[in-house]
Amino acid sequence: MRIDVIPSLALDRNEARLHAMRGDLPGKEREQARLKEVAKEFEALLLESMMREMRKNVPESPIFGRDTGREIFNEMLDGEYVRLLVQQGGLGIADLLVRQLESRI
């Protein structure tokens, strides 16, 4: 069983993002805000995928066995780890993407 727990970055309430969502910013600034948002989402997807693959290498406990509830909890926990990591700057992948793609705006 797999549940997508991609973090909702909509909870990140910085002003530039809110303005971009409302369309208050001029064209170039709006595009930059959208680029930053998409880069963060991409980094979150990448980190979530990494967490999922790392979790596969953790041996199952012979005491508790395999349980659907435990799998769901672990996926939600990993999603929360990813959300917190991205909020705190992540691995810097989003920033690198933004710097690389800003010249195309």
Instruction: Give the pLDDT confidence of 53-104 residue by residue, as tens digits.
Output: 998 888 877 887 778 888 898 899 999 999 999 989 889 999 999 999 988 8
Q: Residue 45 falls within a domain, yes or no?
A: yes
Q: Residue 17 falls within a domain, yes or no?
A: yes
Q: Residue 52 falls within a domain, yes or no?
A: yes
Q: Residue 59 falls within a domain, yes or no?
A: yes
3-state helix, strand, coil in the chain (%, to 5): 70, 0, 30
Q: Distances from the Cα of 99 to the Cαs of 5, 92, 94, 104, in angstroms?
A: 27, 11, 9, 10
Does the pTM surpass 0.75? The reply is no
Per-residue pLDDT tens over the stretch 51-62: 999 988 888 778
Q: Residue 3 falls within a domain, yes or no?
A: no
Please report the pLDDT score of residue 9 as a whole number: 47
Q: Residue 69 falls within a domain, yes or no?
A: yes
Residue span of the structural domain in which 86 resides: 9-104
Q: Could you give the number of structural domains in the chain?
A: 1
